[in-house]
Amino acid sequence: MIGNSENVKKLTNKEEEVMRILWKLEKAFVKEILPEIKNQKLHYNTVSTIVRHLEEKGFVSHNAYGNTHQYYPAISKEEYKKHVISLTSKRFFDNSYKSMVSFFAKEEKISAKELREILEIIEKDKKQ
């Protein structure tokens, strides 16, 4: 678990991309991550450095097999999503999810129909 959102370090775009790959693969050696990287061929050492930074930040852990390491996510994709949404809410919407949803509605990123469907899901979950 990420823990206190204030203590979590922000991920770069490349770090997020590597995390998405690790969530998909569940565990991987650097050589298995390389072909999954989109739109840019990165050198093995660059990807290795990114993975080590992710490990330092607490997002990735590894199993050692001699001199090689097989990496795996230390946090779930769901935990990271919650963290990012929480940070976004704090930074841009004064920690108000209502303001955040209102913003998306005004920007036409979410329709009234979708909002009603969300409300139905919430009501259904409350009943269970």
Q: Give 48-105 pLDDT, tens digit per residue.
A: 999 999 999 999 999 999 999 999 999 999 999 888 888 888 888 888 888 888 888 8
* Residues in Cβ contact with 88 at an 8 Å cutoff, skipping those fewer than 6 apart: 100
CATH number of this structure's domain 77-127 = 1.10.4040
CB-facing half-sphere around the CA of 66: CA atoms within 13 A = 2
Q: What's the predicted TM-score (pTM) here?
A: 0.76
What ranges in 12-109 are assigned the alpha helix state H? Answer: 13-25, 30-33, 44-56, 77-92, 97-106
* pLDDT for the residue numbered 42: 85
- What is the location of CATH 1.10.4040 in the chain? 77-127
Higher pLDDT, 86 or 1: 86
What tokens appear for 64 in the block?
Answer: 């050692």
Q: CATH number of the domain at 8-73, out of 3.30.360.10, 2.60.40.420, 3.40.50.10800, 1.10.10.10? A: 1.10.10.10
- pLDDT confidence of 25, banded at 50, 70, 90? very high
